Every structure is written in structure tokens, then in C-alpha cells.
Structure 1
Amino acid sequence: MNYSWTNTESLLIHLIAGLAGTSKQTAVIIYLTLNTTRARVDLVDRLAKSGAASGELRDRITGLTGRIRKHQSLRNHYSHSIYSFDAETGATRTITMRIADRKNALKMGRSDDVDAEALTRIRQTIEALKLLNHEIWTLVLEEGYPV
């Protein structure tokens, strides 16, 4: 899933270049300067909404970025967890690497099973990212954005 995610997220470079009217090299610098997916997606949305794209193209781009956001939480869960493996049963669990400050305590280490249902969600996300990747490439090529 991480490979599919990273491969698809990197296509934002071409959208940034096209929407900002800049070179791919400059778009790479902008992309790398923004160190979160959220910041990169927000930039693409804002460029599309700023008048850099027609209404139809704007809606198409914001639809794509909305789909990226939809899958972001699952990707974040698996990318920002540590894993526990039961030696006897082979069961796998994720342990979230997040600390939540409460009034008088800390809450940390929420744990979830990596079961058949979780694997199905991961497979569905990979398939969705594959389709999203194809649609972004199609848009980039149709619009003549820098590649």
C-alpha cells in the first residue's frame, strides 16, 4: 500500500507544475518543501480553485484530491504504527504510535487486529489508488502539464 500511495502522491508534482504554470523541476522543489500529504493536496486544491483551471477542470482535480484524502487515514494508520506478532497464533496487530494528552493521563498505543477484514480494506485501497493514479496521469497528459 505504501508503494501505491507514494507513487500516486508523487503525481501531485505534475498537477502543481501545470496549475502553477511552472517547470517540473520547480514543482518538485515545491512538493519536497511541503512535507505532508495534506499540505501537498491542499496546495493542488487551492491552485485549482484560484482560477488556474476552468470550472470543469477544477471540479475534476478537486474530485481527485478528495479521493486521495479519502484513503489517507488508512495509509496513515499503517504507516504510523508499530506491529505486534503473536508467536503462537501468528496473529498480527498494529499499535498506533500516537500519544493523546488527556486531562490527567496519557492515552497511547491503540491496538487493532490485522485480520481478513483489514486485509480486504488494504486491497481495496490499493485498487482505488491504482485507478486514481491512472486518472491523474490521464488528466496530466490531456492538459499537457509538464512530465
Structure 2
Amino acid sequence: MNSGPETRFDRLILLVGRLNYMWTNTESLLIHLIAGLSGTNKDVAVITFLTLNTTRARIDLVERLAKMEGRDPEVRDLILEQTQRLAKLSGIRNKYNHCIYSFDPDSGAPKTILMRIADRKTDIKLGRSDTVDEEAMVQIEKVLTQLTTANRDIWQLIGKLGYPT
């Protein structure tokens, strides 16, 4: 199999595309948790979900609803387990969504350039660059597998709790 720069970049783009699709699909399951935990219908939960414009804000809402006084500790713990899992998986998704891509001038290997400012004590640092090597590709594939499992587990939890679908 050809492993030249174009093939590696094509593989990266396909993996990032799958990551985005699977992430969006899995994150949207928070809608059902919001509906169930807040005792509302799915339409109201969709509006709430879409009004919150970051994954972190959506996860925070679900966690806060799960931690409310009077909540069954078993339900709370099951939901927190899933939200913490999503928060952990969001790191790699954020890395590949909040960057631009370039190529190493010598090898042609794809590189990410983070679109983030790192404030230091006396200066700032822009655009940390990382080469997307085979290890990074395998890491994305592992996250895809973990997202598949998370998606299935969250759907099972929604059904178990009888939350709106």
C-alpha cells in the first residue's frame, strides 16, 4: 500500500471526518439526558442543548442536573460515569477540530497547528505544531472505538431510565 504524503493525509482527513460525525452523534445523546433529568420533553431539551454552544457547557448542565438534591444516587452515578467519559474523549476531538493542517516541507507528513494562544508569564506562544504520525492515527482510531462503545452505553442508559427518545 502506498504510504506517501497524500495517502497519509487522506487517511487523516477520513479519520477526522469520522471523529466529527461520531462525536456529534454521541454528544447529541445528552439531549435525552437533559430531557429525562429535567422532566421535560425532547423538544425543550433540544432547544436547551442548542442554546449551550460548547460540549463543556452541555456536560456541565447534565452533571448539575444529575447532582441535584433528591436525585437517586445510583442514577446520578451512572450519568456522571458517562459524562466524565465524554469529557475525557473530548480532548482528542478538540485537538483535531481546533487546528489547521499543514505539511512538513521535507517529509510531506501532515501536521496540526493549534489555533490557540498560550499565555505565559511574560509572553505568548502561538500555534503549537505537531506531526500526525502513525501513533497519532492509531490514537484517533482508539478514540473512535471508545466513542462507539460510549454511544451504545449511553443509549442503553437512556432506555434503562425511561428518558424521552
Structure 2 length-normalised TM: 0.84
Residue of structure 2 equivalent to 1:118 = 136
C-alpha contact (below 8 Å) 1:85/1:93 kept by paired residues: yes
Distance (Å, rounded) in 2 between the aligned partners of 1:79 and 1:131: 21
Tell which deviates more after alignment, 47-56 or 135-144. Answer: 47-56
- What is the rounded CA distance, in whole Å, between the counterparts of 1:52 and 1:9 in structure 2? 26
Over 3 Å counting, the alpha-carbon distance change for 1:81 and 1:56 in structure 2 is: same
Aligned to 1:38: 56
**CA–CA distance in structure 1, aligned partners of residues 139 and 115 of structure 2:** 20
- 1:121-136 pair list within 5 angstroms: 121-136=139-154
* In structure 1, distance between residues paired with 2:84 and 2:120: 31
- 1:47-75 Cα deviation digits (max 9, x unpaired): 11104641111111000001011111111
SS at match of 1:50: coil
Show the counterpart of 1:59.
77
**Alpha-carbon offset, residue 104 of structure 1:** 4.0
Q: Distance between the aligned counterparts of 1:124 and 1:41, measured in 2?
A: 22
1:73 maps to: 91
Corresponding residue of 1:108: 126
* CA-based RMSD: 1.4
Is residue 3 of structure 2 the alignment partner of residue 15 of structure 1?
no
**What whole-Å deviation, never above 9, does each CA across 1:81-136 have from its counterpart, x for those lacking one?**
00012466330000000112334432101011111110111011011010000011
CA distance in 2, matches of 1:59, 1:104: 43
Segments of 5+ residues of structure 2 without an aligned counterpart are 1-18
CA distance in 2, matches of 1:124, 1:85: 24
For the residue of structure 2 that corresponds to 1:145, the secondary structure is: coil
Using structure 1 for the length normalisation, give the TM-score.
0.94
In structure 1, C-alpha distance between the alignment counterparts of 2:70 and 2:155, rounded to whole Å: 18
Deviates more, 1:94-103 or 1:107-116: 94-103
